[in-house]
Amino acid sequence: MSDSTITIRGWLGGDVTLRQAAGVPVANFRLACTPRKFNRRTESWSEGLTQWYTVNVWRGLAENCAESLRRGDPVVVHGRLETRTYVNGERVEVLTFEIDAIHVGHDLSRGTSQFTRTQRTEPAPGEATEGAGSETTGEARPEAAA
């Protein structure tokens, strides 16, 4: 597989929006990242240009993001990076960066957070058992390991 994955940390530029797409929860938020560099010669920090990313999150992770994240929160996002181009209303071609998130969490180097495990309902007999383990790592959930 040749997906470009990225792990990035930044600040939420606004609250998370949650909607349904074909019956599946999807959340979106904007992530601002401003690089800082230390100049040893001048013994000072300088800030670069702020980079903005649109983060798309699906299913249970989308619901958890909508419940947990607020504007201004420091977060870490890991996912697939995609670029998109479109022509805006002024007929200018615009390049955007989007991340299809696999993992999202608070950046604990910036503060503390309180974790609450999501209670999932068990599938009815005959239903697919999606989510029995992590799709990306193959790890089993702690309840399944016991």
pLDDT in tens, 106-137: 999 898 988 888 887 766 666 555 444 444 44
Q: What is the pLDDT averaged over residues 92-115?
A: 92
* Strands 5-12 vs 24-33: parallel, antiparallel or unpaired: antiparallel
What pLDDT score was predicted for residue 133? 43
The C-alpha atoms of residue 99 and residue 56 are separated, in whole angstroms, by 6
Domain ranges, ordered by start, for the chain: 5-112
Strands (E), 13-119: 17-21, 24-33, 36-39, 44-47, 51-58, 74-87, 93-106
For domain 5-112, which CATH number applies: 2.40.50.140, 3.60.21.10, 2.170.130.30, 3.30.420.60? 2.40.50.140
Can you give the length of the chain in residues?
A: 146
pLDDT digits (tens, 9 = 90+) for 41-92: 999 999 989 999 999 999 999 999 999 999 999 999 999 999 999 999 999 9
pTM score: 0.73
Cα torsion angle, 30, 6, 79, 88, sign: positive
Question: Does 97 score more than 80 pLDDT?
Answer: yes
